[in-house]
């Protein structure tokens, strides 16, 4: 018969193990100090000093014994909720989902709970959600592609935030560099007649990016024909929006050899509309997207796009918010954290025909 190791206790019998297994029992089972086990289980920053192998052994034993930390006791003991509120327009493939993956990973790693709410661009919900989340004792807010309001008494980090609001740190892409990367790429391929798809009016990136595109076009000595500028309409994140805009651009009868879309989702819809009109990609029309979502590389052809590191932006947002929460009261905080873009060249762009 196998016996427990010296100094270890046998697993308690009977009852619900999730209730009967204590931190002390788990520590004895592992022959470690309760303090060490507590640091790892509660994902304390101090746990980083504990060897990774020991951390993995503690988590494996906790799973095996179905141990659950007492979150309420931890909150009461430290008089904190360890809870974050995250506000997004919607949760679907693309921008918000990738940013959320980074936020989730870091908050879970640091032992924070979080609420996620989606407002679908409704002004009343954008106004109400921060108050509702504060009533649930969140310690800070992350707003993704959502306009921030003044007067929020807890730390706020905005991803794709472009407004200077007291108490808000903006995580923002360098849109000037992003636009220059795309326009210079197309200009070097000999494209001088470009079509553009702007974002929806409610998107926080739309006007900032469009101004950057106009500046990049001037720098490259390219004229923007207003008849070849379309704008996404509707709240859906479906490729259908880019499809419809591109059909309207084609209906003008104006010739263009390249198209720069607001995001990858609209670029995918644009490619379908171009093909239906008999245009080959990239032989007749080159297409550039924006974001570099996971499916961009697997389109046919692979989509050339401006990559903004969305998952990394989510991680940076969560890291920044937790630093602000744990900083002394009235400590200075960063107003803006600028993220660098990267041009990813794939098969949807080619040299313009003579």
CATH of residue 37's domain is 1.10.260
The tens digit of pLDDT for each residue in 110-160 reads 778 889 988 888 888 888 998 899 998 899 999 998 888 777 889 999 998
Structure token digits, residue 260: 């720069």
pLDDT score for 15? 41
Q: Is 224 contained in some domain?
A: yes
- Kindly report the number of other CB atoms within 10 A of residue 251's CB atom: 9
- Domain range spanning residue 106? 81-173+310-338
Same domain, yes or no, for 230 and 113? no
Establish whether the linkage from the previous residue to 258 is cis, with ω within 30° of 0. no
Same domain, yes or no, for 251 and 201? yes
Of the pLDDT bands very low, low, confident and very high (cuts 50, 70, 90), residue 306 is very high
Same domain, yes or no, for 112 and 237? no
Same domain, yes or no, for 231 and 194? yes
Same domain, yes or no, for 182 and 299? yes
Q: Is 76 contained in some domain?
A: no
Same domain, yes or no, for 186 and 297? yes
Strand partners, 142: 86, 157
Number of domains in the chain: 3
203 φ/ψ angles, rounded to the nearest 5 degrees = -70, 135
pLDDT score for 256? 96
Same domain, yes or no, for 86 and 164? yes
Round to whole Å and give the CA distance between 14 and 325. 42
Minimum mean pLDDT range among 30-39, 98-107, 245-254: 30-39
Round to whole Å and give the CA distance between 141 and 152. 9
Same domain, yes or no, for 134 and 218? no
Q: Is 349 contained in some domain?
A: no
pLDDT score for 22? 79
The tens digit of pLDDT for each residue in 32-84 reads 888 888 778 776 667 778 888 998 898 888 888 887 666 655 555 556 778 89
Given 6, 35, 69, the domain boundary residue is 69
Same domain, yes or no, for 264 and 319? no
User: What pTM, to 2 d.p., does this model score?
Assistant: 0.76
CATH of residue 233's domain is 3.40.50.2300
């Amino acid at each position: 018969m196998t016996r427990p190791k010296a100094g270890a206790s046998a697993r308690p019998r009977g009852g619900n193990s999730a209730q009967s297994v204590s931190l002390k029992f788990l520590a004895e089972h592992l022959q470690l100090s309760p303090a060490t086990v507590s640091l790892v289980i509660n994902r304390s920053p101090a746990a980083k000093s504990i060897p990774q192998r020991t951390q993995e052994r503690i988590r494996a034993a906790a799973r095996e014994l179905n141990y659950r930390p007492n979150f309420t006791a931890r909150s009461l003991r430290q008089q904190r909720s360890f809870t974050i509120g995250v506000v997004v327009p919607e949760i679907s493939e693309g921008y918000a989902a990738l940013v959320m993956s980074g936020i989730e990973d870091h908050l879970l790693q640091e032992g924070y709970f979080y609420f996620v709410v989606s407002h679908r661009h409704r002004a009343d919900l954008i106004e109400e959600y921060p108050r509702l989340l504060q009533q649930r004792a969140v310690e800070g807010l992350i707003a993704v592609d959502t306009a921030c309001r003044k007067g929020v008494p807890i730390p706020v980090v905005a991803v794709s935030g472009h407004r200077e609001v007291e108490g808000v740190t903006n995580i923002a892409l360098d849109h000037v560099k992003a636009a220059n990367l795309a326009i210079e790429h197309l200009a070097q391929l000999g494209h001088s007649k470009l079509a553009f798809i702007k974002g929806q009016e409610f998107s926080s990136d739309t006007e900032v990016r469009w101004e950057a595109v106009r500046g990049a076009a001037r720098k490259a000595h390219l004229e923007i024909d207003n008849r070849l500028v379309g704008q996404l309409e509707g709240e859906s994140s479906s490729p259908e929006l880019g499809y419809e805009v591109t059909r309207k651009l084609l209906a003008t009868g104006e010739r263009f050899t390249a198209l720069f879309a607001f995001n990858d989702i609209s670029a995918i819809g644009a490619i379908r509309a171009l093909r239906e009109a008999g245009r080959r990609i990239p032989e007749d029309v080159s297409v550039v997207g924006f974001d570099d979502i996971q499916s961009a590389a697997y389109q046919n052809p692979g989509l050339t796009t401006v990559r903004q590191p969305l998952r990394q932006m989510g991680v940076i947002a969560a890291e920044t918010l937790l630093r602000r929460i744990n900083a002394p009261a009235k400590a200075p905080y960063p107003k803006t954290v600028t993220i660098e873009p990267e041009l990813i060249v794939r098969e949807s762009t080619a040299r313009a025909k003579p």
